[in-house]
Chain A
Amino acid sequence: MNTEKIAAQALKQAAERLTPDFRQDALSAGWPADIVFQMTVEENDGNLYLAYPNSIADKVQNLEYGNFEQAPNPVIRRFIRSHTDGLDDIFESAFEDVASELGAFN
């Protein structure tokens, strides 16, 4: 039983579920759709991160942190904060599955 593999798999599935959640949050906050639909939540080496092309990096940063023309509109920070507990649940659930498969609850 490879626990790391199971955790990574759980994270990968979480990333797929989180991408539409993030996009919904960003659109609701008024971020432009052409930026939002280039952004995805991805998993790599046990970490979740927000991926977007370098070509929109400045625009994303300006939306999130503001600049001398616009106030900050912190969708990314809000998203991370609101989903931290959910990620704990994902790990918990993954390890419960592992424990269950190992017969811990028999």
Chain B
Amino acid sequence: MTPNPQAPGFREKHCHPERSGAESKDLQFARAATDASPLKEESFLRRCVFSTDHRVIGRQYLVLALISVAIGTVLSLLMRLHLTWPEIGLPLHGPILPEDYLALVTFHGTLMIFYVLTTAPQSGFGNLILPSQIGARHMAFPRLNAAAFWLTAVALVTLLSATLAQGGGPISGWTAYPPLSAVASAGPGQGLGMDLWLASLGLFSIATTIASVNTLTTVIRCRCEGMTWERLPLTVWGWFTAALLSLLAFSVLLAALLLLFCDRHAGTSFFVPAGDIVGRTLHGGGNGSPLLWLHLFWFFGHPEVYIAILPGMGLTSMVLGNFARRRIFGYRIMIATTLLIGFLGILVWGHHMFVAGLNPFAGTAFSVSTMAIAIPAAAKVLSWLATIWRSRPEPKSAMLFALGFVSLFVTGGLTGPILAQPILDQYLHNTFFVVAHFHIIMAMAGVFGLFSATYYWFPQIAGTPLRPARLMSETLGRIHFWGTLAGAYATFLPMHITGLEGEPRHYAQLTGIPGQQAAHLLARTIPLQAPITFAAIFLAAAQLPFLLNLVVSLRNGRLAPPNPWNATTLEWAPEPSPDETIAVHRAPCDYRQRNNEATFLPQWVSDSSTE
């Protein structure tokens, strides 16, 4: 497991000496797995598959997320193709039936939200980078960490197996509203397919709870000397808050899934109203209510979207500061806003239910809290802008994607307060306006955060004890960025317009609808469908440079010098030897101007070696 200093090329690439003067090793190798002693030969299974090394587990999560996002993107393209050209059939499958379309919707939502946006930012990059950033050598519970990953992998396989279930995959959307989801005969795929979906999410909830316990305990207990709460990088604050939200939200999801399972198989009626007739059969022995499911699900569902975005917000702050060579504007306020967004995220779930017949008092309360959450979010945006104001950032790919995050966050965030008004939501609920809103602010911004993290932390991803750390290609990165940014706006901005015109969600077809008014309304949304679909195809195609970049850079990328971005956070410090004490001496982002020269003071350098 020891790095091979004789291998060619590793000594020559020492091109960026650290200005801080800290002693650094010549070789930028990733931190070795400290769990395994170099003398013990570990089996392949223990070392690569069931490894308890947090970096390996982080990479495993990232691979899982990459697979999920690829599948999810293909599904979304199929959805767009079907909406625009309904007569097109799939090669081995035939025409896309309405239940197929709804199954596509369900799998797209479930894969993207759970298996991409909950795993990659929090567990993928969190496992990879969090211990280094707080000066810990490993996470608090390494074996639980591995168990959580493998449980997630089993959950993904379970979900994908639902496509093969008898009757097809579930069609009730990622939100699984009863009675459609509670009655097996309510639709194709609602039998075994729905049960597999429930099993998958149940396993996923348990896995995420374990992972969040691990993250929280690591941040609370495993910080190094000198790493106080105020000196934690904002990424760590993002991971911490997201983990706390995870802990609270996924337990409620598990309870809701359990109740739904009992409704389906134990003859209970938590969610099925009395007298509900489905396909000529009377269901519902007791007085259930779908509203109960909505409350329980959205109590989970809203914190979930904050779990997806908070790590990205923390990363954006740090990346913007790094490349603009500026301190973060209002560091302590940024910490407070992170916590406040997390806390308020627990209070706003009712805004998904404005048209579900909430008690009007509750509707207003949720509306106010939803608009309240715009305040810390706006404070964050102002801080990002103030951090880079009148600076000359280096246009590296990581920086570009962080700027893209800010742009998409603002765009998507502006439609949030619109949807937060119950009276406006009455019209816009279940239209493509909502789809546009959450895709821009959660899917696109969240994914931009992931891209920024990939470009920024690629040396940490690529560098193993056996392989040197590499950088991704900047050229491909720029192509990727501009293509994705243009594609994202081109795809989702027109959806606002179609949504305002009334295009409903979950409709498998927009043509051939009986009823004159309905057909008339839908006909007005048709002209924009083709441009949106072309833009979506372009957006998907724009990811190919990224995949190419990944593969090429992993093999032949430029070797990364130590601390290639001249950052101040601890993950870029030289690898500590096993008996060295890791310590930090200041807050991160200590970039300064001295004698008209920009310099910086990393966290790990003590005062005495400067000035």
Q: Are A and B physically bound partners?
A: no
A interface, CB within 8 angstroms of B: none
B interface, CB within 8 angstroms of A: none
